[in-house]
Amino acid sequence: MDLIPGTRAELAAALAEATAAGRVVDIRGAGLHSRRGWPFAADQVIRTSGLDRVVDHIPDDMTITVEGGVTVGEVLDLAGQHGQGWPQAPAQPAATVGGVLAAAVTGRRRLRFGPVRDSLLEVVVVTGDGRTVKGGGRTVKTVTGYDLPRLLTGSLGTLGVIVQATLRLWPLPMAEQWFTARGDDGEMLDVGQRVLGDLHRPTAVILSRGAVHVCLTGVPGDVVPPAGMVTGIEPTAPGGPGMVEAGVPPASLPAFVRHLSGTGRAYEAWMGTGICRVPVASAGEVAAVRDLAMLYGGHAQVSDGPDDLRAEPFGPVPDGADIMRRIRASFDPAGILCPGRFAAAAPEPT
């Protein structure tokens, strides 16, 4: 049976009880990022949707503090009333703030505004055995101790449940527009590289099969079509049964994309960041994309997919796996939290 705690105290009690009983727990927000890691059998699902309160919003400081079950759409709506936004957020209004942070999901504006972890100022987490821990500070000047916000961002619920987060907001831009060019893959790659070199801080440069899409943000006079491009709309992400997110050094992304284009696969490459998302339909395709990413000094993981595509969701055990295991043991001594999503662990039987 699913449990939906309404307070962090209820959540802490539930996790302490699960630790004592040795019950494996799956943590869910909206469930949009739940198909990551190895499939695993959970004795209990705890949903964070009951932790849905806005704790504080200080427009003058451009910060907002919310519980982990508050949605991205709610944050954007409230911030927008004061001419502010959360540009690092993904375009998923139904996603919860806790889920976005736990999965480290950043939107397409990462090139200009940085990854989602850069927007997290303070975090409160309930550990696997029911302790409540706070890290960071609501303003940069109050930050002390270990950098728990960065540690917890991308932890996929394996260290604890994010119950509260303070986010840094940004002023909404005076103007923003997408521009598009279409043509041969190689030509479009050249256009994207030229935009990166010629323009000051483009918001996004997205390359896909036969097209390049550029987002510009700023004052109206600066938001004009780059040479060879026309006004367009934000591109639609390629779809498939599963999705692999590859990461290579940004300087290696053009070579990676040229190689990938030669295979005929669909892709969405975020130029300047080293990120490339590739739809996949089989375990063999997952392995092929991962091998290519490793060839260019990177890695690849399954960010979404059914069970049969997640036999090897993370690839080789990462460097520092022993440190990762010790950190996990300090936050979740019994190992009850989302064991299949811990990249330094062996696969869990289903």
Note the pLDDT tens digit of each residue in 259-306. Answer: 999 999 999 999 999 999 999 999 999 999 999 999 999 999 999 999
In this structure, is residue 328 part of a structural domain?
no
Element (H, E) at 279: strand 275-280
Secondary structure element (H or E) that encloses residue 165, with its range: strand 160-168
Same domain, residue pair 149 and 179: no
Specify the DSSP class assigned to residue 78.
H
Average pLDDT over residues 302-322: 93
Torsion sign across C-alpha atoms 134, 40, 94, 240 = positive
Question: pLDDT tens, 10-48?
Answer: 999 999 999 999 999 999 999 999 999 999 999 999 999
Q: Are residues 305 and 195 in the same domain?
A: yes
Report the mean per-residue pLDDT for the chain: 94
* CATH number of 45's domain: 3.30.465.10
What is the pairing mode between strands 44-47 and 2-3? parallel
Domain membership flag for residue 197: yes
Residues 70 and 125 grouped into a single domain: yes
Which of 137, 171, 205 terminates a domain? The answer is 171
Domain span holding position 167: 2-171
Contacts of 327 (CB under 8 A, 6+ apart): 151, 159
Cα angle: 183, vertex 187, 192; to 5 degrees: 100
Q: At residue 224, what are phi and psi to the nearest 5 degrees?
A: -130, 155
Q: Are residues 24 and 167 in the same domain?
A: yes
Walk across the sheet containing 275-280 and list its strands.
230-232, 175-182, 211-218, 204-208, 268-270, 275-280, 242-247, 299-304
State pLDDT tens for residues 149-179.
Answer: 999 999 999 999 999 999 999 999 999 999 9
User: What's the CA gap between 2 and 245, in Å, rounded?
Assistant: 30
Across the strands, what pairs with 45? 2, 26
Q: What is the mean pLDDT of residues 209-213?
A: 96
Average pLDDT over residues 177-189: 96
pLDDT of residue 70: 98
User: What's the pLDDT at 146?
Assistant: 72
Instruction: Choose one of 171, 192, 223: the last residue of a domain.
Output: 171
Mean pLDDT on 59-72: 97
> pLDDT tier at 137 (50, 70, 90 boundaries)?
confident
* R_g (Cα) of the chain, nearest Å: 21
What are the tens digits of pLDDT across the range 106-128?
999 999 999 999 999 999 999 99
Strands 2-3 and 275-280 turn out to be: unpaired
Query: In Å, how far are 10, 152, 243 from 102, measured between CA atoms?
Result: 20, 6, 18
Asked if residue 134 and residue 38 are part of one domain, the reply reads yes
Residue 141 pLDDT = 56
What the block records as the tokens of 71 is: 């949605």
pLDDT single digits (tens) 71-84: 999 999 999 999 99
Region 314-322: mean pLDDT is: 90
Nearest-angstrom CA–CA distance, 130 and 290: 37
